[in-house]
Structure 1
């Protein structure tokens, strides 16, 4: 359910602001002279401060105010962006996260961070800061001599209150700059019988005496300038007389003062004002925050609708009622559109996940003493939000291994003729109905001999066994398997890659590993777009029905009566000059029913390989609602789930990658047994 708790609303908004702040700080590390990035970071801080004070997070508001004050020197060009400054700013951002998550628990940690931040931006060591400030006070004129009087007039937009603005917070910020005299202007307030409680009718007249510059006053209104009437004037030596005259003069005499509202506008019907407010609110609101649980519930309902529609279609096909057939076709069209719309709502750009790893690489490069360039491509690629949530941990482990074990230290890279700065690239792209996510480093690459030795030592591989290099690399995903010569605080215990394998298997995905000595390693994760509803091809094997994900299917052919068999007993088909191995699902599933006379072969793609699956009959395509198997069947890897058909029966969904692997292993054991009997 969507929470109405304002504190939880603030936490959600604060998370977005902190993410924006972190990305801006990391970008500044790469582009230290980009003023837009500085302004973006400053805006995030300014909003956090105001929102924190509004919702009662006084620790957050106080800490961020000091953080903002120090960072303001960067914005004004008084302090250059440096690596130490970015590091302490990121630490400050982490501290704000802690203050928001657990109020009252971490306040003491803030003082050292602010002291370090102040030391960097002022270029004065902490031990000498007090002495420097004392000397500065002795040489500079007194503060009172630099005081200035400002005359500020402002009127918020009519829809400001409805959109969450609070004029009292603006006045409090002005009071924080110096002595204020505030006068409210109620000339535009209509009679009480037509007043609209959501419309802001008041204007304010402020006399501010402060030593702060004009920029500090502008910053108070930084997020409202575009929609409000604002006048900021510096008064001269005869400022008291000038101010008196200005109070007597109409506001419209000043070029930037808000216009006086005509009397008939003041008493305009509340309905007209409300209409303008509603229109502005709808224009400003282009997105809606919805709890993930509601999307999951909606997806479940759509899944049930798809099953019901399949049952209706089956009844319509068996009926001669034209009206029933028409209704079934219309419902199929509507349910298909609803399915696509719901799936689209659940699809999230993978860039929301990629952004998290920039901080990870930044911290790892600092901790390990390695210079790392982190590149991302394909951030716009969309993936189901459930997939993105579960992908975070596997990608963390792969990236940590790439930086820690894959990339060499700068001196070793230079000695081998490589740039001292290592490179890690994270890329995503659509490949059919799948998403491929690759993590590539330009490090030393995997050591195949060391992996084989470790596998033999652990009893995972026979000493005389011959294994393709790609299969040999798969051992790095075995629990407890590690070729690291030493354990570091980052990796080396052989645990993380096991997590990667288990998670990707749960997501019905596959992992490919490619590596060249001295050039680097690429780990590619191939994942389905969604875990909810897929297009499937329904087939029959004996008396059982099975569903093959349509994304894996390339083509269907008829099995020749005399299927070609060549080379060590392997079953092969000649398809347009290419030999394609095939597996008989009847043998794998131990089907006892007699085979059909004309069997079919479904050609599927498994990574870069093409394999044929022999079935008795192809029943057609259908929308497949994926239902998870029970915990008792969790270790049956050849099936990724089940689906309910239109007649109420259940069909198992084939996990093509694991099925092909199991089938190849089955054939190898069968050939070995035949060779043993022959000997």
Structure 2
């Protein structure tokens, strides 16, 4: 049995903490007085510092300590939160990520510069002499805790916890030994002590809980308020086996009896129940490496293919064999659906990354930008999410640089000072549509066309539709920027978008209104692994049409086929739908069947009919990638293995609909 690398586990947890810190800082930027966000950022910094020190990331722990100290002052009211402080800590978060990925001395000068900026930001607040906050009211707490028997063997020092409690205020510490074995069986490395601490502090209960943040899951802890009583301050008596304490350190001793409302210490019999509860909480989620999900998806795909072969063989077997085949088909279908759900992640995990990007772009360009996200709960295959990150970065940067105007330009044109970029996602007929929309100046079609002609991308005076003109922005090397900047001008970003979306078997729609803004929609399949398909025959070959794109099936007789020669349209409920004869497109060289079928497919509002010889039925399609020799064949998006071992090609409905539209346009011109 292999065990996970503890350093890699720490890096994974650190990445989550850094993401929480970034989200908290960006939220705090909109409301600098939000105490909950300040506390949340502080706790995340505190956890990251402690975990880093535990796993040997000393540089990370030392650097994070400075940011934690600043936020500790902010939450105590000693320093007011400002945009500059939050911005520097946001920059510090990026440096922490580097220290997690590659801890080395070469990063020390960069860290020192960031800390100097942080110190200046704090001093600027102090020099402004903000109003001194009122001293928080002190409260009395009784803290009872005991650690697991193997705590010291695992590196936990209870004396450090006691010191942290003393730092919060004045305390009286009492030690107890509820179970102490005889000397002949006593293990010196075992811990048998429990502690009761009476603490008076101005800090909230959450600050006391933070002391035990690294050991809370394995220990027994009870924190209860003490009723108001008379207290006297006395020098603390050192606890048994405790380190020496300075004589001047004073702690609290309570003269009044302990109120009945204070919970009694947890009895030994309650420990198993508490352990079971913790175990149940831990079992609610399990961290699984992504590559294991990919391997499991491959196995499920092979199972689906094997089940398809079994169903074909069982068709010629007895009733019992067919019954077993049906059971396996049902189970494999349920396993497939469960596996697909495991691979799906909300698109909000992708959208969350762009809050920081927009924040940085606003500071870099001097523009006021508002980011709006919609449909964050829409779920997409994790592989699709990973591959969409870079294209969306290019599109958002392009919207900010080319689309949004400066605050002065927007006010002059009667718009709000803040430009808006909207990221939205929704599902529609087996695909997810991700839209990037801005309310900027829009795309200048004449300028795009002139640039394309001067670059030789199109011939002068070439007849292009509006969508074809807008699609020119995705050509390699195309850019309308007047100068090269850090954001754009080299003509490589939009080309990357086009290549990535094509590789995902998706499509891009562009719309724009001059002076009002632009909208770019990415239509992506929900998954890249297994789909429900409609198996059809054209000539001697079999093909799969994604079932999510199929609207309906019609019969096309030989007489109707002959009558439609030259116009390729069918009348469908008072509307004309263009259709493509796949037999002609694939050049099968065979005669059509007497009764052909028309499969009407759609992508959004556009529809086209596909003429096939036979509709075989539905098919669970395991998508296999095409070879590199066929990567430029736009008609097919992949292949699948049928039950008899033969290969069927999967039709790319987006390109087929585009071909149908082109055919319709040519017919109109000819007419």
- TM-score interval, normalised by the smaller of the two chains: 0.7 to 0.9
Q: Contact (CA 8 Å) 1:537, 1:549: kept in 2 or not?
A: yes
Say yes or no: does 1:521 pair with 2:514.
Answer: no
Q: Measured at CA, do residues 249 and 413 of structure 1 come closer, stay the same or move farther in structure 2, by a change above 3 Å? A: closer
The answer for unaligned runs of 5 or more in structure 1 is 133-147
Aligned twin of 1:142: none
Give the 5 Å matches for 1:383-402: 383-402=380-399
RMSD: 3.9
Q: Is the 8 A contact 2:608 2:660 kept in 1?
A: no
**Structure 1 residues 3-12 or 77-86, which shifts more?**
77-86
The CA distance in 1 between the partners of 2:108 and 2:150, in whole Å, is 33
Query: How big is the shift at 1:56?
Result: 1.8
Match of 1:596 among 588, 593, 597: 593
Q: 1:65-80, aligned counterparts within 5 Å?
A: 65-80=65-80
TM-score (norm 1): 0.85
Matched with 1:240 is: 235
Stretch of structure 1 that moved more, 212-221 or 95-104: 212-221
SS in 2 for 1:438: strand
Structure with a larger share of its residues in helix: 1
TM-aligned CA deviation for residue 568 of structure 1: 12
Q: Residues of 2 paired with 1:550 and 1:161: CA distance? A: 57
- Aligned equivalents of 2:555, 2:334: Cα separation in 1: 34
1:10 corresponding residue in structure 2: 10
CA 1:195–1:273 in 2, change beyond 3 Å: closer, same or farther? Answer: farther
Structure 1: distance between partners of 2:141 and 2:230: 7
Q: Once structures 1 and 2 are overlaid, which stretch shifts more, 252-261 or 524-533?
A: 252-261
Kindly indicate whether the alpha-carbon contact (under 8 Å) linking 1:74 and 1:121 is maintained by their aligned counterparts in 2: no
Specify the alignment match of 2:248 in structure 1. none
CA 1:161–1:537 in structure 2 vs 1: closer, same or farther (change >3 Å)?
Answer: farther
Question: Contact 1:196 / 1:273 at 8 angstroms: preserved in 2?
Answer: no
How far apart are 1:82 and its partner, in Å?
2.8
Residues 153 and 257, structure 1, Cα contact 8 Å, conserved in 2: no
Question: How many equivalent residue pairs?
Answer: 643
> 1:6-54: per-residue Cα shift (whole Å, max 9, x none)?
1111111111011011001111112222222112111111111221122
Farther off after superposition, 279-288 or 15-24: 279-288
Out of 370, 395, 411, the residue aligned to residue 373 of structure 1 is 370
Paired with 2:48 and 2:166, the residues of 1 have a C-alpha distance of 19
Query: What is aligned with 1:579?
Result: 576
Please name the residue that 1:121 is paired with: 122
Query: CA 1:411 to 1:250, structure 2 compared with 1: closer, same or farther past 3 Å?
Result: closer
Tell me whether 1:186 sits opposite 2:177 in the alignment. yes
Tell me if structure 1 keeps the 8 A contact 2:550–2:602: yes
**Corresponding residue number in structure 2 for 1:315:** 313
- In structure 1, C-alpha distance between the alignment counterparts of 2:362 and 2:406, rounded to whole Å: 10
Cα displacement string for residues 608-652 of structure 1 (whole angstroms, at most 9, x for unaligned residues):
211111111111111000011111111112111100001110000
Contact 2:578 2:664 in 1 (8 A): no
Q: Give the one of 288, 296, 299 matched to 2:294.
A: 296
**Partner residue, 2:651:** 654
> Does the residue aligned with 2:595 lie in a helix, a strand or coil?
coil
Residue 144 of structure 1 corresponds to none
**Does the CA contact (< 8 Å) of 2:308 and 2:642 recur in 1?**
yes
Given the superposition, is the C-alpha separation of residues 182 and 191 from structure 1 closer, same or farther in structure 2, using an over 3 Å criterion? same
**Residue segments in structure 2 that go unaligned for 5+ positions in a row:** 130-137, 240-250
Give the direction of change, closer, same or farther, for the CA distance of 1:217–1:328 in structure 2 (3 Å limit).
Answer: closer
Deviations 1:558-583 (A, max 9, x none): 12545489999542111000111111
Distance 1:431 1:279 in 2: 42
Q: SS state of the match for residue 332, structure 1?
A: helix
Contact residue 159 and residue 281 of structure 1 kept, 8 A: no
Work out whether 1:218 is the aligned partner of 2:213: no
State the match for 1:45 in structure 2.
45
1:504 to 1:330, Cα distance in 2 relative to 1, 3 A: same
How far the C-alpha of 1:222 sits from its partner, in A, is 6.7
Q: Distance in 1 between matches of 2:539 and 2:299?
A: 33
Measured in 1, the distance between the counterparts of 2:284 and 2:20 equals 19
